[in-house]
């Protein structure tokens, strides 16, 4: 079975304003919802978004932001895992 991008959904998205790190909850077709860390979306000098890049190694700012967001991310993922 080949990957079908139309079946890949982003259910929830967070972005760190300081570092551009993006965390999403994704689901493929009817599969389990899962957390993805990255990409990183940085800003150009004119304030517009640059093309997404790999998250790469996380800075202390990234870690502190993730730590602060973890309960919200966990709660959202837990709610998505519960049977309807």
Please give the average pLDDT of every successive group of 10 residues along the chain, which has 84 residues.
Answer: 91 96 96 96 89 94 98 95 70
pTM of the model: 0.86
CA distance 12 to 52: 17
Q: How far apart are CA 46 and CA 79, in angstroms?
A: 38
């Amino acid at each position: 079975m080949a990957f079908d991008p139309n079946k890949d959904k982003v259910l929830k998205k967070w972005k760190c304003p300081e570092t551009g790190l993006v965390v999403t909850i994704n689901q493929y077709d009817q599969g389990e919802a899962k957390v993805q860390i990255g990409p990183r979306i940085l800003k150009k000098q004119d304030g517009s978004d640059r093309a997404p890049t790999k998250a790469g190694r996380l800075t202390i700012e990234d870690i502190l932001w993730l730590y602060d967001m973890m309960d919200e991310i966990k709660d959202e993922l837990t709610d998505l895992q519960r049977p309807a």
